[in-house]
């Protein structure tokens, strides 16, 4: 079936043009199955430099040279260039090919043919080129037939497995669809009697090192991602040469199948994102009181969430604002759900791209497992963010806030509290998750962020320090923050800041001098702590 889109040397010799020249194969008779990609005629000594490989070269021998050394070098250069065959027309230059040329061709494994009768080279060129074009057209028709069958399968209700199955049957080899980073999505074998494609994948493509270097003879075709960035790749088709070689028409068919798969995956992504947004809308409506606790369980069951009488744990993850609009929310939802599959509790997960939030409800087996489940959920959320490519240098890390477990009656308020707290917590230190109950002060300050009294309070409390740190070094606000975080314990503060005691004492004295206050006074400490927490929410 395969001629790589050209014809073989043997087939070229059988066409009327060359056949009329009474061809005689002088060397390389065992290599007449080589593919002729193109035909070239020439008589110059440096003809090899003009060729790309795969050509059938027609010549009368004028450029071959007169000395045996020149003739051998001429043949070697052609062989090194990778031409398909050398055809020499006997006549005024040679009545028979010299032994130096024949021996050099045999040594190089280059098919060498002499023609005993004169033939019009233009006729030979036209015939072979026509045959090559017809061969290309035949390959295109085969590839288009695969495309048509894949399209019909989709219109008949099929999906990715059916498309891969058609491609596997056509190539008589296993076919796989993997993510851009090499994780297996789908696999298709060539029939019930064939080897398990998953075992083949593990053996030939499964390892990280194997993914970096494709197996010999494999065909890899990118499935375009259709994202905002040019050249984005959503997935990759992998054809492995197990039962037989993979040839040009197989790649052509795979390229056409890749276009179909891009549409299928885009549609699946859209449907998946719509479903995730629908769940996010339900959880938001519950948080905003638009769904009553009495109606919520029935609506949740429609969405696949059946926690029974278990306590419900509200969780909200908030992404940095600059990541919200460009995120692959369908991939994020799928990745998080896959990560959560091992948690072993019912999960209802939605997305709210506009607000940059991922709200969840989880059904706990008991109220005592809240911390353990929160640890695993937070890890799953962060792993999902990484898999979805929603991390960016310089952005705030995702904030995960865990509310208080309770009944459906408390779930809405818990989700609303967690969502607001997640917004208020952006810019705090990077922790796996925050307990919503411990951030009530930050939430209160966030709610007052637009009130002029808050800015005035911050300016009165720590304004001199902020002004100092704009122009002087070392900055003193970090020292004050650490000192208050350690409840005034100077030894611990010095260790965290990597300072000796005297340097810390000097800095604390300077802070007290600038603020005109006593750092040992409880009311002063409270005011400074609140001001430091509030300054994140004001310009």
Tokens 């919200």 identify what position?
324
Query: What is the rounded distance in angstroms from the CA atom of residue 248 to the CA atom of residue 35?
Result: 12
Going by C-alpha positions, the residue among 111, 110, 113 that lies closest to residue 80 is 110
Q: Measured in Å, how far apart are the chain's first and last C-alpha atoms?
A: 72
Residue 435 token pair: 């307990």
Name every residue whose Cβ is closer than 8 Å to that of residue 214 and which is 6 or more positions away in sequence: 205, 220, 238
Q: In CATH terms, are 292-439 and 452-537 the same topology?
A: no
Contact yes or no for 314/360 (Cβ under 8 A): yes
The fold of the 292-439 domain, in CATH, is Alpha-Beta Plaits (3.30.70)
For domain 452-537, which architecture applies?
A: Orthogonal Bundle (1.10)
In CATH terms, the fold of domain 7-131 is 3.40.1390
Instruction: State the CB neighbour count (10 A cutoff) for residue 333.
Output: 23
Torsional sign, CA 67, 68, 70, 71: positive
Inter-axis angle of helices 501-515 and 477-485, nearest 10: 110
Q: Measured in whole angstroms, how far is the alpha carbon of residue 145 from the centre of its chain?
A: 30
Tokens, residue 514: 């600038």
The residues pairing with 318 across neighbouring beta strands, listed in sequence order, are 357, 399
**Strand 184-188's sheet: what is its strand order?**
184-188, 175-179, 233-239, 219-224
Question: Domain residues of the chain, as ranges?
Answer: 7-131, 158-266, 292-439, 452-537
CATH 3.30.450.40 applies to domain 158-266: yes
The three state secondary structure string of 188-231 is ECCCCCCCCHHHHHHHHCCCHHHHHCCCCCCEEEEEECCCCCCC
Show pLDDT as tens, one digit a residue, over the chain (539 residues).
Answer: 344 556 889 999 999 999 999 999 999 999 999 989 889 998 999 999 989 888 999 999 888 988 999 999 999 999 999 999 999 999 988 999 999 999 999 999 999 999 999 999 999 999 888 888 777 777 788 888 888 988 888 888 777 888 888 998 888 888 888 877 677 777 788 764 456 676 777 666 554 444 556 677 888 998 887 544 445 677 888 888 888 888 888 888 889 888 888 888 777 767 677 788 888 889 999 999 999 999 999 888 888 898 888 899 999 999 877 655 555 777 788 878 887 877 778 999 998 888 888 999 999 987 678 898 899 899 888 888 887 777 665 567 889 999 999 999 999 999 999 999 998 888 777 789 999 999 888 889 888 888 899 999 999 999 999 999 898 889 999 999 899 988 889 999 999 999 999 999 999 999 999 998 888 889 999 999 999 888 888 87
> Which of helix, strand or coil describes residue 421?
helix
């Amino acid at each position: 079936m395969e001629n790589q889109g050209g014809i073989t040397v043997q087939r070229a010799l059988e066409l009327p043009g060359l056949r009329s020249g009474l061809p005689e194969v002088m060397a390389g008779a065992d290599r007449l199955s080589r593919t002729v990609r193109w035909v070239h005629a020439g008589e110059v000594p440096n003809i090899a430099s003009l060729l790309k490989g795969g050509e059938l070269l027609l010549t009368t021998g004028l450029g071959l040279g007169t000395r045996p050394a020149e003739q051998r070098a001429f043949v070697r250069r052609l062989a090194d260039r990778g031409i398909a065959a050398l055809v020499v027309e006997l006549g005024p230059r040679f009545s028979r090919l010299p032994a130096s040329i024949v021996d050099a061709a045999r040594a190089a494994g280059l098919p060498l043919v002499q023609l005993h009768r004169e033939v019009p080279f233009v006729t030979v060129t036209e015939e072979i080129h026509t045959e090559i074009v017809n061969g290309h057209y035949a390959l295109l028709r085969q590839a288009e037939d695969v495309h048509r069958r894949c399209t019909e399968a989709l219109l008949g209700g099929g999906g990715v497995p059916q498309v891969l199955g058609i491609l596997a049957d056509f190539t008589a080899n296993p076919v796989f669809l993997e993510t851009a980073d090499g994780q297996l999505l789908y696999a298709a074998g060539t029939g019930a009697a064939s080897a398990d494609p998953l075992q083949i994948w593990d053996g030939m493509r499964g390892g990280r090192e194997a993914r970096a270097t494709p197996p010999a003879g494999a065909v890899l075709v990118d499935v375009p991602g259709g994202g905002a960035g040019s050249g984005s790749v959503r997935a990759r088709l992998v054809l492995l040469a197990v039962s037989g070689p993979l040839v040009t028409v197989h790649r052509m068919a795979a390229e056409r199948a890749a276009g179909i798969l891009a549409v299928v995956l885009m549609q699946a992504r859209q449907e998946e994102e719509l479903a995730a947004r629908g769940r996010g809308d339900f959880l938001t409506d519950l948080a905003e009181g638009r769904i009553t606790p009495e109606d919520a369980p029935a609506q949740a069951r429609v969405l696949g969430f059946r926690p029974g009488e278990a306590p419900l744990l509200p969780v909200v993850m908030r992404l940095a604002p600059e990541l919200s609009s460009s995120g692959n929310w369908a991939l994020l939802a799928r990745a998080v759900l896959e990560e959560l599959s091992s948690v072993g509790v019912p999960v209802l997960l939605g997305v709210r791209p506009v607000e940059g939030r991922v709200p969840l409800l989880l059904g706990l087996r008991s109220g005592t497992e809240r911390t353990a489940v929160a640890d695993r959920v937070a890890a799953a959320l962060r792993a999902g963010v990484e898999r979805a490519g929603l991390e960016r240098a310089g952005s705030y890390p995702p904030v995960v806030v865990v509310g208080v477990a309770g009944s459906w009656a408390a779930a809405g308020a818990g989700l609303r509290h967690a969502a607001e707290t997640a917004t208020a917590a952006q810019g705090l230190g990077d922790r796996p998750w925050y307990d919503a109950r411990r951030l009530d002060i930050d939430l209160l300050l966030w709610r007052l962020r637009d009130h002029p009294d808050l800015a005035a309070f911050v300016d009165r409390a720590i304004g001199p320090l902020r002004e100092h740190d704009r122009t002087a070094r070392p900055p003193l606000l970090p020292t004050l923050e650490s000192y208050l975080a350690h409840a005034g314990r100077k030894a611990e503060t010095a260790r965290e800041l990597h300072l000796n005691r005297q340097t810390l004492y000097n800095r604390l004295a300077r802070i007290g001098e600038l603020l005109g206050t006593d750092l040992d006074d409880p009311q002063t400490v409270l005011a400074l702590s609140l001001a430091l927490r509030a300054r994140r929410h004001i310009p």
